[in-house]
Structure 1
Amino acid sequence: MKSLRYIVAIADEKSITKAAERLFVAQPSLSQFLQKYESDLGCRIFQRYSKGVCLTGAGEKFVPKARKLVEMYDQMVKEMRLMCKTQKKMISFATSIFRGEIIIPELLQRFYSKNSNIVIDCHEIHPKEIERQLAKGEIDIALVVAPVDNPNICCQVVAHEEVYLAVSKSHPILEKARVNPDTNKKWIDIRDMASEKFILLENEWRLRAFSDRIFAKYGIHPSFEIASLRTTFGFAAESLGVIFCPQVYIVGVGMHSDKLQYLSIGPNGEYRDLLLAYSNRYEVLPAYIKDIVEIVTTMLRCPAS
C-alpha cells in the first residue's frame, strides 16, 4: 500500500521533488523507488520532463485504480479501528511531522490521564493536506501555522513561535550579531544580510510566506535559491546560504545543529502564530476538544511577540 501511496502522490504533485516533500522522503530515494517499480511493472507510469512528470497512457489507467485501492484500504482501516474501539470514542488529531514528534507523546499522556474513554488517532502529514482534511471533516482537530483562510475551519491562537535565521558557525556575518541582555539571545538586523544569499522553500510552504513577509517588512530584496526542507539545513551548514528556521525545527529536527548558529531577527525576534484548527460544524465545542485546546496551549505557552 505504501508503494501505491507514493505513486498517487507523484501523480497529484506532477513532480517527484514535490511528492518527496509531501511524503517526507528524500527525492533520490523516491526516484529510485519509481524506477524500480516501473521496471517490475514492465511499463512506464510517468513521462519525465525537465519541470516535472505527467502520466503515460498506461499511467492514466493505473493511477485511478491505485487511488481507489488506497481509499478502500484507508476506509477499511478506519472501520476496523472503530470496530475494535466500540466502547470508546475516537477522534483524530493532526500536525506536521516535525512538530508531531515533539507534541504528540506529551499530548497523549496528558489527555489520557483525563479521558480514558476516548482514543486519539494521530496523523503527521503535510500542512496543505491537513487543511484539506480538516475542511472535509476527515480530521477533528489539528495544530497548524497561521493563516488558515477556509471558512469551514475555526481557529484559536495557542502560541507564538519564533522563527530564527540559521547560518554556519563559521559565517563572517556573525561578526555583526549582537546579544539581547534581557533574553541572552543572539540577534541580527536582517538588513545587514541584504547582500547574503538565502535558501528558501517552495511557495506552497508557510515558512516561505513568512520569509517573503519579513523581506517586505525590512525592505530588502536578497538573492535566493529554492531547495527542499532538509537540503536547506545542509546548505546553511556549509556556508552556502542563510535559512529561516522555526523553533520546532531546532528542537525536533536538529539537522546539522552542531554546525549552525541561530539568530533572532532583530532584538525582539519575529514570530508566527500557531493555531488549533477544527471544523466549524460544532455549535458548542465538545469537552474533549476543549481539553486538547487547554493541553496544547499549556504545552506551547510562550511570550507574545
Structure 2
Amino acid sequence: MEAAEGAHVNDRELTYVKTIAEEGSVSAAARKLFIAQPSLSQSLQRIEESLGAKLFARTPSGLKLTQAGEKYVAMANRVLKLYGDLLAELSDMESLSEGNINFGITRLLAKFLLPQVLPEFHRRYPNIKISILEKNSKELDRALTACDISFAVMHRLVGEGSRHIDYDVFWKDPFVVTVSADSPIARKATNDPAYPYPLIDIRHLADEPLLTVPYGQRIRQVLDTVFMQTGIRPNILLESRDYTTVQTLAAKGIGYTIGPQSYTALSKIEPGEAQFLSLDNSLNAAWALCIATFANGSLSRADMEMLRYFEDAIAHVMEPDPLP
C-alpha cells in the first residue's frame, strides 16, 4: 500500500488511533470517544490509506499495534502532549498569568516613566518577563522595523512619519526656554494669556550661550530646524546627552536651553531657581509623544496591557496639554 500524496493528520485522528490502541478494539474506543463505531472504523481506514501502512493487526485477543502502529502511537503521544502544552501556554498568556514583553523607550522617558509603570505592573502580573531596549528615537525606529521590539514609547518630530511604523500620538509637546530666575533674558519676555509662560522673541537668544544636546538627538533636530527657519546661528557653549543635566545648568545661569515643556515637570530644579519662557507657536518648536508600533505587526494581550499602564502613567506624570 503506497502512501497518498499530501497525506496529513490532525489531533482528532491522532486521538482516534491512540484510543483504539489503549482499548484494544474499535467498539470500545468508539464508546470512550462517544462516536459511532462505523464512523470510527471508516476514520481508521482513511488514516491507514493516507499513510500507506496498516496500524493494527487482528488477533484472538483483539487489535494489536503493528510496527508502523507502534511508531504512529509513540509519535501521537508526543504530538498530543506538545499540542496540549501549547494550548495551556496560550491560555496562560491570554489570562496574563505568564508571557513575554519586549519594548523600547527613550532613556529620559525611561527614567521618569518606568518607576511609575513597572512596579505596579509586576505586582499584578509577576510571571510576565520583560525586556527593555533603551535607545534614542531613531534607534527605536530601526528596532521596530527589524521586529526586535513590539512597541516603543518615544518622541517624534511633528509631521514626521514612516510607512513602516504607526505612531499613536498622545499630544503635541511645545518647547520652552529655560534660564535662571535672574537672567536678563527673562526680563525681555512679555506676558501673553495665550501662553503658559512669558513669551520671548527668539531673536533675543541669538547671541546668548546655548546649552543643548548633541547633533542627531531629536531635541536637537527641533532646535536646528527652528534656528534654520529664523536665520539664527546659535552660540553653542555646551552639549550633553542628558537634557536634564542641560536644563539644570541653565537654571544655574550658565546659559539658556530649549526643550520640551513636559520636562519642566520632571526636572530637579529647585522652586524659584529657574524661569521658563514660551516661544511663539508660529515657530512650530515642538515634538509629539507617541507609542510606536510596526505597521504590519501585532500586539499580544500582555503588550496591550503594558501599554495601558504607560498611558495612565503619561497622563498622571507628564501632565501635557492635549492635542487640539
**TM-score, normalisation: structure 1:** 0.59
C-alpha separation in 1, matches of 2:133 and 2:276: 26
Shift of residue 222 of structure 1? Answer: 2.9
The answer for the alignment partner of 2:152 in structure 1 is: 142
Match of 1:178 among 163, 174, 190: 190
Match of 1:271 among 266, 286, 305: 286
C-alpha separation in 1, matches of 2:267 and 2:108: 6
C-alpha separation in 2, matches of 1:272 and 1:280: 21
Q: CA RMSD in A?
A: 3.6
Aligned length: 220
Q: Is the 8 A contact 2:196 2:278 kept in 1?
A: no
Closer, same or farther in 2 for the Cα pair 1:95/1:176, shift >3 Å? same
For structure 2, the 5+ residue unaligned runs are 1-88
User: Counterparts of 1:1-305 in structure 2 under 5 Å?
Assistant: 88-108=98-118, 116=125, 119=128, 121=130, 123=132, 125-127=134-136, 128-147=138-157, 151-181=163-193, 184-230=196-242, 231-233=245-247, 235-255=249-269, 259-266=273-280, 270-282=285-297, 285-293=299-307, 296-297=310-311, 299-300=314-315, 302-304=321-323
**3-state SS of paired residue (1:273):** strand
Shift of residue 142 of structure 1? Answer: 0.9
> Which amino acid is 2:107 matched to?
I
C-alpha separation in 1, matches of 2:194 and 2:322: 13
**3-state SS of paired residue (1:186):** coil
The answer for the alignment partner of 2:30 in structure 1 is: none
Shift of residue 96 of structure 1? Answer: 2.1
Deviations along 1:98-144, whole A, 9 cap, x unmatched? 2123323444477679x848736253623144333323222211111
Closer, same or farther in 2 for the Cα pair 1:144/1:167, shift >3 Å? same
Larger radius of gyration between Structure 1 and Structure 2: 2
Closer, same or farther in 2 for the Cα pair 1:142/1:196, shift >3 Å? same
Identical counterparts, % of pairs = 22
Closer, same or farther in 2 for the Cα pair 1:227/1:257, shift >3 Å? farther
C-alpha separation in 2, matches of 1:105 and 1:203: 29
C-alpha separation in 2, matches of 1:189 and 1:101: 32
Shift of residue 166 of structure 1? Answer: 0.7
Q: Is the 8 A contact 2:248 2:268 kept in 1?
A: no
Q: Is the 8 A contact 2:214 2:220 kept in 1?
A: yes
> Which amino acid is 1:276 matched to?
I
Shift of residue 176 of structure 1? Answer: 1.3
**TM-score, normalisation: structure 2:** 0.56
For structure 1, the 5+ residue unaligned runs are 1-81
**3-state SS of paired residue (2:199):** strand
C-alpha separation in 2, matches of 1:126 and 1:255: 25
